[in-house]
């Protein structure tokens, strides 16, 4: 080598030097390419951050010279020429709006904020009696990440630490993961088409091999496989060219923790990293005035960056979980009516920023006939910058249920993902949802819904192991799984949690499956009840609903609906629920009505509309009974079909009521006698077979009448908190309190004025199923 070198002179030596240098350069370059995904991303992010910062400073200088910038931040050279494109680069090229453009819109919006709107809204809300209702949705137990107790066990299993002030939210993977979490394969239910279970089993076996080997294999695939997987020329193409995550048929990869706006972030921005924000005292009046527009702290929302960071609240194991390479794509559907500008945009940006572009087919905004000016042209202009976002305008107010169906009809993705329009999707939120559907097309996964405080807009971690349930009369609630349940089912913190019902607003569903289920009942109006309908339908017709702990989305929980209801709010929700009860709950609908909804049975007052199509659908799908649902999905629910039953014993006469030839008598109590057996129903009727004990107030006599659950004249109060003496049987619906009594003279049944401590007015059933 040295001899050769000596033989060469002048330009020859130079040439040799250049040759050796370029070989070294190529080797270094290859090494750079082979650095893990996270490392590459990390470097690129830093480079981009640096470039952007430089650009921002230059522009600030330009602007002071009243020379507005015309260019976008320069792209870094390295990724374009020397290193492969990452998903983030693909994203940035396609959607990224400059910071300046974003802030221009914010300024514009604040300037245009029409105070008249607020006044009008306030008026509408006042005129709407329904808005005095209790909070529209169940609030959630949340942990304050920023002032919480270090020892709070709820924080232990999650990665996030308190005060994540300006931490890089994106967590690149530098080393092979220590815990590879395998999302458990599901067993194919009978008569169910389950996609990919076989492949998944195979993958699972592979994964049980040594982790290093597994990682190597993925990297091997990265370099060896041909990048062009199909001819699709869509937005995903760039992603498929990406060499950092090579997507392969049947392959798996570690869930992508994308957060493309991770840097640069202004650490001093209001609400940055999901921290609580405060209203300066001199702005308090303005903030209060702005509150009504969204029923949350709109003032702060307007100040918070539209693409702020939020803490990655996933359990630590989630960042290492594996998902399939060929997940279905999704259309994200946001329906909104008069949503606050900044929250709507923050919702959209959180999807764009934290979803793998190749899986995000489109974002569909369905405007449910909003009246706010800024949601018209301004929104059109703003969203024109994002090719994946389309806006559908409804010509009249349809309510969120039919609005969602319009969105679904326009969707081109394999999966529909519905989100409320005031949310922030967290890092890695999408793939774990799609994975569940990939494994079982009848699975309907929901993210963990975390809390964005309506007061200070902070992002709060919620308790783990919470599921969606309902209480009577069909009121949605969160319910913590008991430790016993967790232990018995051997559950880890990242396992899907079966939910009897979903909260309603945030879920993914296979599009074809959604239509097989008949979508939503289009007869449901405005808001409410559709979550019960779809939940019952899913479970009873072969599917399942689960919360996926590795997928997390923040939602602003509000105490009131900020929009008006075309009709009374309470009546609208009750009617929706009654439709659901009539179609799906069989004999258990009595429990719905019996828990304070009896007035809904009055058909003169309440028109439930036509239910024929819904009933036909249930028959066509051959769905299981509501009893099956209770036994198998929600056995913890207390759902006795009767309030009480058995013999009716009179405390004074010490005999039991009996029916002989259509009239009443008293006999020694005998459980074996069917004519002494009565049911006390949720309709508050006292029933023997099809006949009911009927008071004839005018004559103070008692008769037997054919039962009709809608007839309020057949109702008796008993063991009711409304009664001074709970053992009385009191005729409902009368102004005076009238009690069922044994006439002490002739030992006959009669109606009499209720008197305290009169044992002949006190009755007892053999069995009670209510408190
Ligand atoms: O007429 C309407 N048209 C609409 O487009 C009324 C509402 N909407 C939009 C609205 O702008 C919002 O984006 O529909 C979305 C949901 O309305 P919200 O935010 O007022 O509902 P919510 O969060 O109070 O209520 C929950 O229950 C509803 C019952 O119909 C829906 O299912 C909501 O989607 C649901 N939200 C969630 O599940 C988020 C978690 C809350 C909980 C528990
Ligand atoms: Mn909501």
Segment 393-443, tens digit of pLDDT: 999 999 999 999 999 999 999 999 999 999 999 999 999 999 999 999 999
Instruction: Return the residue whose CA atom lies nearest to atom 38 of ligand 1.
Output: 505
In this predicted structure, the answer to whether residue 25 has a pLDDT above a threshold of 90 is no
In this predicted structure, the answer to whether residue 126 has a pLDDT above a threshold of 50 is no
Distance between Cα 334 and ligand 1 center (Å)? 10
506 lines ligand 1 (CB under 6 A): yes
Q: Encoding tokens for residue 56?
A: 């921002």
Residues bordering ligand 2, an ion, CB closer than 5 Å: 420
Q: What is the dihedral of CA 528, 534, 535, 536, to 10 degrees?
A: 110
Average of per-residue pLDDT values in the chain? 78
What tens digit of pLDDT does each residue of 624-647 get? 999 999 999 999 999 999 999 999
pLDDT band at 735; cut points 50, 70, 90: confident
pLDDT band at 120; cut points 50, 70, 90: very low
Instruction: List the one residue out of 181, 225, 198, 242 whose CA is nearest residue 438.
Output: 198
What tens digit of pLDDT does each residue of 489-508 get? 999 999 999 999 999 999 99
- Residue 302 is predicted with a pLDDT of 97
The more confident residue out of 24 and 377 is 377
Which one of the ligands is nearest to 470 CA? 1
Instruction: List the one residue out of 603, 574, 594, 597 whose CA is nearest residue 130.
Output: 574
Q: How far is Cα 347 from Cα 304, in angstroms, rounded to an integer?
A: 13
- Nearest ligand 1 atom to alpha carbon 562: 20
Rounded to 5°, angle at Cα 52 from 51 and 53: 95
* Residue found by looking up tokens 């480079």 in the block: 47
Most distant CA pair in the chain: distance in Å? Answer: 138
- Nearest ligand 1 atom to alpha carbon 140: 43
Q: How far is Cα 108 from Cα 100, in angstroms, rounded to an integer?
A: 12
Which one of the ligands is nearest to 556 CA? 2
pTM of the model: 0.76
Angle, helices 37-64 vs 87-95, to 10°: value is: 30
In this predicted structure, the answer to whether residue 753 has a pLDDT above a threshold of 90 is yes
Test site for ligand 1: of 527, 560, 567, most ligand atoms within 8 A of the Cβ: 527
What is residue 158's DSSP assignment? B
If you compute the radius of gyration of the chain from its CA atoms, what whole number of angstroms results? Answer: 32
What tens digit of pLDDT does each residue of 600-611 get? 998 777 899 999
Test site for ligand 1: of 130, 137, 476, most ligand atoms within 8 A of the Cβ: 137
526 lines ligand 1 (CB under 6 A): yes
Which one of the ligands is nearest to 507 CA? 1
Distance between Cα 71 and ligand 1 center (Å)? 39
392 lines ligand 1 (CB under 6 A): no
Q: Confirm if 152 and 143 have CB atoms less than 8 A apart.
A: yes
Distance between Cα 401 and ligand 1 center (Å)? 9
> What 3-state DSSP class applies to 467?
strand
548 lines ligand 1 (CB under 6 A): no
- Residue 8 is predicted with a pLDDT of 55
- Residue 51 is predicted with a pLDDT of 38
Q: What is the dihedral of CA 437, 439, 441, 442, to 10 degrees?
A: -90
Number of H helices, E strands in the chain: 24, 27
* Residue found by looking up tokens 């942990």 in the block: 143
- Residue 247 is predicted with a pLDDT of 82
- Nearest ligand 1 atom to alpha carbon 478: 43
The more confident residue out of 188 and 595 is 595
Which one of the ligands is nearest to 504 CA? 1
Distance between Cα 422 and ligand 1 center (Å)? 9
In this predicted structure, the answer to whether residue 66 has a pLDDT above a threshold of 60 is no
The full length of the chain comes to: 771
- Residue 32 is predicted with a pLDDT of 39
pLDDT band at 246; cut points 50, 70, 90: confident
Q: How far is CA 86 from the centre of its chain?
A: 30
- Residue 44 is predicted with a pLDDT of 34
The more confident residue out of 262 and 271 is 271
407 lines ligand 1 (CB under 6 A): no
576 lines ligand 1 (CB under 6 A): no
In this predicted structure, the answer to whether residue 237 has a pLDDT above a threshold of 70 is no
Q: How far is Cα 624 from Cα 638, in angstroms, rounded to an integer?
A: 20
Q: How far is Cα 278 from Cα 297, in angstroms, rounded to an integer?
A: 10
- Nearest ligand 1 atom to alpha carbon 139: 43
pLDDT band at 40; cut points 50, 70, 90: very low
Distance between Cα 592 and ligand 1 center (Å)? 22
pLDDT band at 21; cut points 50, 70, 90: low
Contacts by 764-768, CB closer than 8 A, 24 or more apart: 764/648, 764/649, 764/651, 764/727, 765/644, 765/645, 765/646, 765/647, 765/648, 765/649, 765/678, 765/680, 766/644, 766/645, 766/646, 766/647, 766/649, 766/671, 767/644, 767/645, 767/646, 768/643, 768/644, 768/719
Q: In the chain, what percentage of residues exceed pLDDT 70? A: 69
Test site for ligand 1: of 124, 365, 400, 545, most ligand atoms within 8 A of the Cβ: 400
Instruction: Return the residue whose CA atom lies nearest to atom 39 of ligand 1.
Output: 505
Distance between Cα 453 and ligand 1 center (Å)? 16
- Nearest ligand 1 atom to alpha carbon 339: 11
Q: How far is Cα 208 from Cα 426, in angstroms, rounded to an integer?
A: 29
> What 3-state DSSP class applies to 71?
coil
Instruction: List the one residue out of 637, 655, 645, 528 whose CA is nearest residue 591.
Output: 637
Q: Confirm if 169 and 261 have CB atoms less than 8 A apart.
A: no
- Residue 724 is predicted with a pLDDT of 82
336 lines ligand 1 (CB under 6 A): yes
Q: Confirm if 431 and 256 have CB atoms less than 8 A apart.
A: yes
- Residue 165 is predicted with a pLDDT of 32
Contacts by 112-118, CB closer than 8 A, 24 or more apart: 112/373, 112/374, 112/378, 113/374, 114/372, 114/373, 115/289, 117/293, 117/371, 117/372, 117/373, 118/289, 118/290, 118/292, 118/293
Q: How far is Cα 341 from Cα 114, in angstroms, rounded to an integer?
A: 12
In this predicted structure, the answer to whether residue 329 has a pLDDT above a threshold of 60 is yes
Instruction: Return the residue whose CA atom lies nearest to atom 5 of ligand 1.
Output: 336
Residues 6+ apart with CB under 8 A from 311: 145, 160, 164, 167, 169, 273, 274, 459, 461
For the ranges 136-140, 400-404, 652-656, the lowest mean pLDDT is seen at 136-140
Instruction: List the one residue out of 732, 290, 274, 277 whose CA is nearest residue 460.
Output: 274
> What 3-state DSSP class applies to 649?
strand
Q: How far is Cα 522 from Cα 519, in angstroms, rounded to an integer?
A: 8
Which one of the ligands is nearest to 506 CA? 1
């Amino acid at each position: 080598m040295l001899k050769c070198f000596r033989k060469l002179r002048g330009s020859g030596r130079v040439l040799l030097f250049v040759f050796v240098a370029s070989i070294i350069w190529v080797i270094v370059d290859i090494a750079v390419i082979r650095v893990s995904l996270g490392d590459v991303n990390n470097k690129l992010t830093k480079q981009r951050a640096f470039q952007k910062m430089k650009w921002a400073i230059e522009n600030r200088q330009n602007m002071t010279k009243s020379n507005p910038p015309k260019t976008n931040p320069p792209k870094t050279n390295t990724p374009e020429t020397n290193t492969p494109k990452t998903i983030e680069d693909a994203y940035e090229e396609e959607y990224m709006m400059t910071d300046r453009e974003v802030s221009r819109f914010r300024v514009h919006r604040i300037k245009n904020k029409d105070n008249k709107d607020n006044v009008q809204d306030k008026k509408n809300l006042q005129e709407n009696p329904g808005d005095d209702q209790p909070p529209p949705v169940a609030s959630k137990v949340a942990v304050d990440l920023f002032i919480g107790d270090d020892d709070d066990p709820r924080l232990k299993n999650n990665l996030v630490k308190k005060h994540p002030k300006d931490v890089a939210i994106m967590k690149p993977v530098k080393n092979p993961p220590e815990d590879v979490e395998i999302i458990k394969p599901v067993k194919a239910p009978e008569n169910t088409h389950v996609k990919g279970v076989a492949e998944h089993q195979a993958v699972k076996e592979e994964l049980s091999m040594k982790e290093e080997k597994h990682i190597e294999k993925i990297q091997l695939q990265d370099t060896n496989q041909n990048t062009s997987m199909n001819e699709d020329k869509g937005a995903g193409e760039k992603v498929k060219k990406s060499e950092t995550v090579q997507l392969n048929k049947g392959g798996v990869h570690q869930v992508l923790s994308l957060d493309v706006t991770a840097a640069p972030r202004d650490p001093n921005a209001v609400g940055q990293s999901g921290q609580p924000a405060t209203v300066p005292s001199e702005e308090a009046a303005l903030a209060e005035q702005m509150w009504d527009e969204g029923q949350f702290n709109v003032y702060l929302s307007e100040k918070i960056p539209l693409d702020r960071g939020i803490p990655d609240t996933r359990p630590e194991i989630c960042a290492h979980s594996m998902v399939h390479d060929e997940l279905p794509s999704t259309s994200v559907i946001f329906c909104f009516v008069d949503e606050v500008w900044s929250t709507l945009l923050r919702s959209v940006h959180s999807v764009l920023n934290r979803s793998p572009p190749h899986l995000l087919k489109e974002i569909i905004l369905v405007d449910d006939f909003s009246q706010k000016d800024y949601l018209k042209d301004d929104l059109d202009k703003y969203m024109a910058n994002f090719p994946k976002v389309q806006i559908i305008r409804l010509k009249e107010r349809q309510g969120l249920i039919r609005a969602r169906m319009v969105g679904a009809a326009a969707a081109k993705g394999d999966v529909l993902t519905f989100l409320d329009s005031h949310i922030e999707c967290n890092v890695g939120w999408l793939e774990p949802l799609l994975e569940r559907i990939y494994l079982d097309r009848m699975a309907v996964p929901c993210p963990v819904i975390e809390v964005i405080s309506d007061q200070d807009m902070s992002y709060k971690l919620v308790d783990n192991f919470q599921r969606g349930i309902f209480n009577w009369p069909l009121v949605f609630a969160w319910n913590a799984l008991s430790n016993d349940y967790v232990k018995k089912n051997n559950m880890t913190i990242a396992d899907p949690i079966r939910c009897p019902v979903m909260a309603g607003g945030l879920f993914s569903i296979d599009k074809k499956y959604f239509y097989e289920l008949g979508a939503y009942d289009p007869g449901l109006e405005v808001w409410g009840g559709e979550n019960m309908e779809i939940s019952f339908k899913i479970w009873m017709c072969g599917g399942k609903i689960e919360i996926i702990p590795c997928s997390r989305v923040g939602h602003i929980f509000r105490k009131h609906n900020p929009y008006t209801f075309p009709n009374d709010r309470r009546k609208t929700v009750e009617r929706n629920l009654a439709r659901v009860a009539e179609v799906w709950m069989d004999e258990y609908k009595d429990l719905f009505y019996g828990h304070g909804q009896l007035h809904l049975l009055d058909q003169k007052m309440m028109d439930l509309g036509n239910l024929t199509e819904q009933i036909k659908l249930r028959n066509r799908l051959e769905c299981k009974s509501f009893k099956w649902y209770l036994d198998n999905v929600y056995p913890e629910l207390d759902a006795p079909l009767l309030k009480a039953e058995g013999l009716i014993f009179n405390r004074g006469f010490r005999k039991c009521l009996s029916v002989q030839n259509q009239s009443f008598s008293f006999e020694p109590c005998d459980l074996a006698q069917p004519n002494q057996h009565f049911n006390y129903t949720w309709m508050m009727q006292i029933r023997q077979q099809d006949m009911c004990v009927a008071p004839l107030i005018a004559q103070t006599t008692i008769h037997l009448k054919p039962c009709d659950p809608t007839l309020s004249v057949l109702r008796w109060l008993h063991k009711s908190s409304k009664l001074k003496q709970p053992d009385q049987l009191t005729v409902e619906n009368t102004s005076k309190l009238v009690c069922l009594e044994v006439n002490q003279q002739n030992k006959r049944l009669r109606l009499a004025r209720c008197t305290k401590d009169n044992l002949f007015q006190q009755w007892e059933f053999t069995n009670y199923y209510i408190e």
